[in-house]
Structure 1
Amino acid sequence: MILMSVPVFAQSDNDYFFELSKEISHIQDHPEKIKMLYKREIKKLRQTNDFKFLISSRYIQLFFYLKEPLQQIPLTYELLSINDNRYPFISIACNFSIALKFEKNSPKLAMQYIDKAIIENEKLGKRYMLPHIYHAKGRFFFNASDFKNAELFFHKALKLYGPDEKLYTASMYNNFALINDKLNQTGSAIKNLQKGIHILTNDTVKTREKKMFLDRMTGNLGYGYFKNKEYAKAEDLLLQEFNSNRSNIDYYPHIIKTSQHLSDLYYATHQKDKILQMITFLKEIEPKLENISDKITLNEIIRNYYFTQNDLIHLKLYSKKIEKLNHIFNEENSKKIQILSDTLNHYLVKSIDEKYEFNEKLQKKKFNFSLIIGLIILFTSIIIIISLINRNKSQKEISLQKNIILEKNINLYREKIKYLQQSIFLKMEAEKIFIDNLREIKKEGSINPETLIKHSFLKINKLMEIDIRNFDLISESYAENEEFLINLSAIYPQLTNKEKKLCIYFRMDLSSKEIAALENTSEGTVRVYKTKIRNKMTDDKDISLHTLLNKV
């Protein structure tokens, strides 16, 4: 990747992506509407050739695979790379998305990406996704049983949610109650749940999501009363949630937890008939469940019932069934983790391979270009020396002194070129070793995504140090590109900005494959652009584009 300064964009650019994100959130369950939105942004891109709309269309593409993380993760990494921190909102959204995808399978990696999202968002102030990111980080800490930090970030999120965001405000009180429950602070848990329920009950704007969450908090409150041995209140509230969800198959995953709590209550209050009714209902819905984890929990409730009844036949039957389900769950989970790891590793290796191949060729071209500059300076200096000697013999001593200075300058340039050649050779060798080691690790199957990323960043930073040491020498050539673009615009004003940019690559005599890698496009597209540019510049078919550009 060529390093360049990142321009400062107006706040409205980030606001544009933020509004687009809110627009997507209302239609994310409707694939056809998502595709229409994507077509809208592509149309804007074609009309304006604005980089912003390339990013917006790629961002919308992520939502094509909302339920397919193995498809979405590589696209998210690719968008991060294309954006290259140009638009902070996109960097925030991508890092946040990756963190959520790794939440269960790689908590440490998830925490690294959530921290990146927080750092970027905090630079922009208390805007955009910051309260949701704080909420997610609090959940990460909760999952790790770090309840102190979990509560800290839930409070941070609560402070940032606005007065109209009642669902998220209520969810924070539910989270506080979950922490209280883990710490056996039942009284505090009940109070926090009552606050959350009060917020949603008095909210005049009713939505499906709010009703679902209100039911969930009602069930949690019922379980709090159960732990407090207020059985009548507990049963009433748990049945409210149970009856609200039992008629909708989409809510069955939520009803299993409620069934577990009701079963515990019926055992404690010796209501055997109600326990049997519960078990009968669970047997009826078990075939309709898709999630293996839900099936395991449901069958454990049923097995526990037969254990209390001392029914050994059914106890063995359900124990074997649970054992089989656990085996399937572990096998599926292992496959998912492996596929996820392979997907991530493939993307990383592919990115590094492409970067290595491109950098190797680019470094050779830089070296050749610098060598030519050095030779020009050398020959120019020799000509100047000879000219001065022949021009004024009477000033022999002065000329001799100037010659000595010029010779020192020539020697200095020789040393710089020699040093540049050695540095480039060193970097190329280091990159080859780095890629070979990475491929060897992958072949052995012992690769760990977290360790790979950590070591990859370390190796890449070491390689970049060589570029930094040579920056002063190489950067002298960039001024020539700027002059070239000015002259090109004056001679051929009909060229677009995209075509002018490609002219720099064609002038360097890069191949279509190399240019395609730089511009993240296909070789065919590059060849089409080359033909269009040549037709705009001349009708003479015998002259090459490279020759034309070198005359500018």
Structure 2
Amino acid sequence: MMNFRITVTKTFILFLIALSHSFLCFAQKDSSELYLRYIDSAEYNIQTNPKASLRYLDSIPKPVEDYVEGHLAEYYDVKATLDNRLDNQSDIYQNLLLTLKYAELEEKYEIAGRANLELFYNVFIIKKDSSAFDYLKKSNHYFELIDDKHGLADVKQMYAYAEFYNKNYEASNQLIINDLDYYKAIDDDAFYQLYALFLLSSNYMYLDDLGNAHKYFNEIKTLKNDTTLTDWLYNIHTVTLNCNLAEIHLKNNAQDSTFYYLQRAAAARNIMDNSDVETYFKTYIEAYTSIGDTEKANAYIDSLNRFQKGLLKETIVANYNSNKVLVNTEEKLETESKKKQINKTLWILLLLLLLSAVTFFAIRHKKLKSAINDFMDKLNEYSYLKKNHEKLKVKVQGFEKFIEESKKEIKRISNINDAKEQKEQIKTLYRNIHLHSSTLVGNGTDHLNLINELNVDFFNELSKRHPQLNESEIIICYYLFTGFKNKEIAAFLNTSLRSIESKRYRIGKKLKIKDKGLSLVEYLLDTFKHFS
């Protein structure tokens, strides 16, 4: 009877703890993890299917601060990138400011560096304010903190772009040529070479040196099939060069060349930005006017007018939405401190409740202690079970101590500012955890074999359907299928985020995902849903 009471007491305490944990964590889990996949899917679709990307972001309830807490930098970063893709200029600046704000709060320095880079571009180009260079310096600072060579290359190229924008074409060329070999050496991302060649070709066009302009344009064409470069990035730069070449040949009264480059640009009409579209229409208007074809010239005048009216309408709507978002954000910030105070009060009340329950049962236990001891003396026949129970208890305590020490070590590592040292400390911690976990996983069991044993049917079917995938690509597919993000997969596999992104791109090409009109994650979830 007394043993039964002890069991009930312990069970009730565990129930209170579990109930409190569920009460505090359920809302957070429901409002965060459920929507993180939407952010990933939106980011994946930005270049190839921006409308789908927008639908993913709009599927996250408002205010988003309540549903993706801790990941707001990623949300606003994707939103700003999407605005840029859709030419929503009035929204970009506001979303970039929010990206920078949350990136600094969440200590996500890569995002902070990129946000500052984009803010420089928007302030320098749109507002024509020299204070934009302050953003460029901040961007360089954040990239240096994490030793991001790609980010530092971006900063270098922005200085060259600034000279180009100010029509200092020779100065821009000199900055690029000085570092051209450096950009070409970044072999894991051909974008830096592409953009350097793009600036050189553009500069020489405006210096009326078409020989060198074509020389560097032809170098760009050699990058068309580079696997580290998306089709969209390649086409968005070449279409601009084709439009500009058409414009320059028109000024030189070379009508045949003008129409040739306009036709080349027309092949990528759907990805032109607003500036390219205006150049495209205006060049056609002037070209047909120069040869006396007023009918076709008027047709392009009508097209240009419709485009500009649509652009004005989009700007008005975007300004309205931007102001609405700004008001909602300010209201959210005003109530944030109140919300924190309420949460703090709830924690205190819950803690008092738990302490009261523990105190009550401790007193109750003390009164029953002498009776329980007498009763236990009569249970000698269970001595063997008791002995093993004590051994298990000691083992559990050892695990609890190890977990507590690991938590302290993780906290210590998170406060290390030096990225290289932090990475080494993480590796050491991983090895220690792997060593202590040998009671659960036998020594010599590697990462692939372990998850293979647990998910053998999934791996067999994936390998059977797609034998062209190698071992590391199959592992990435499995993690994507089970809902992990790129950064988490990079941590699991002890590799870089860019490496995972590059492998995802190659997997998509091997599986011909683009032909199916799906993202890689959507394809995996749909094809292997019977394993969910």
Task: Output the TM-score relative to the length of structure 2.
Answer: 0.49
Point out which structure has higher relative CO (alpha carbons under 8 A, 6+ apart): 2
Task: Output the TM-score relative to the length of structure 1.
Answer: 0.47
